[in-house]
Structure 1
Amino acid sequence: MSGRSVEGWPRMLLRLEGACILAAALWAYGWLGQSWWLFAALLFAPDLSLLGYAAGPVAGAVLYNLMHTLALPLIGLSLAAGFDRPDLAGLALIWLAHIGLDRALGYGLKYASGFGDTHLGVIGRAGDGTIAPH
């Protein structure tokens, strides 16, 4: 590992996990019979957390990471199942699908040093998701 990001085989596994999360969330959403229009409308809603970068890179990274960690939608999904709320389960699955898509594409959790500095490598500088020289 070079710097603060994952490289090589472990990085590929993390991206594969993201694709599996996306696939599982899509399947479960369809199984629940939820509205695909709602899915399309809300799929990128977690990216509104990018507005946190208006307050600086630290606030931006904190807000972005909060909305892009698996913990919150998994808790939401568990609560929705526990309280028999398929509508809330659908929202949690949309959130999980978004995170899975991001991870599959190589968009990782952010470091406070800047938006492009992620745990899956530097984005936006090398063009292919690999770590670019600083």
Structure 2
Amino acid sequence: MKSLDLTIRLEWAVVAVVAVVFYGSAGMSWWLFAALILAPDLSMLGYLAGARVGAIAYNAFHILIVPVPLLLVGHLSGHVVAVAVALIWIAHIAIDRALGYGLKLPSGFKDTHLGRIGR
């Protein structure tokens, strides 16, 4: 593993830990965490419609564009469920990146912006 790759993975691992620690401090149910931690991966069902649609669906649920604003809005409005969902979502994305799973390219599921899975 290259030094930069390791640094990026460690960075995402830190984000995952921070999201989980904040989730724990919010006092939400760990059952909710367990139930939702893999929910973004349901987007892989998009691959049933082909690689291009699959990549779009997968990427839509594996970017921070929605969960970070959701976290902010939930925090500012005092909506603890929104905060919990956002933190679980962010943790999922961060864990994926720490494990080397990137955003999908339309050429195939194993082709990501971080390189080919299983190289």
TM range (shorter): over 0.9
* Structure-2-length-normalised TM-score: 0.94
The structure richer in helix per residue is: 2
Q: Higher Cα Rg: structure 1 or 2? A: 1
Corresponding position of 1:52 = 46
Corresponding position of 2:90 = 96
Aligned residues: 119
Match of 1:61 among 32, 51, 55: 55
Unpaired runs of at least 5, structure 1: 1-6, 127-134
- Code of the residue aligned with 2:15 in structure 1: it is I
Deviations 1:38-66 (A, max 9, x none): 10111000000000011111111111111
Equivalent residue of 1:115, what SS? strand
Corresponding position of 1:73 = 67
- Code of the residue aligned with 1:114 in structure 2: it is G
Give aligned-pair identity as a percent: 50
Matches within 5 A, 1:1-134: 8-124=2-118, 126=119
- Code of the residue aligned with 1:83 in structure 2: it is S
RMSD: 1.2
Deviations 1:91-115 (A, max 9, x none): 1000011011101100001110000
* Structure-1-length-normalised TM-score: 0.84
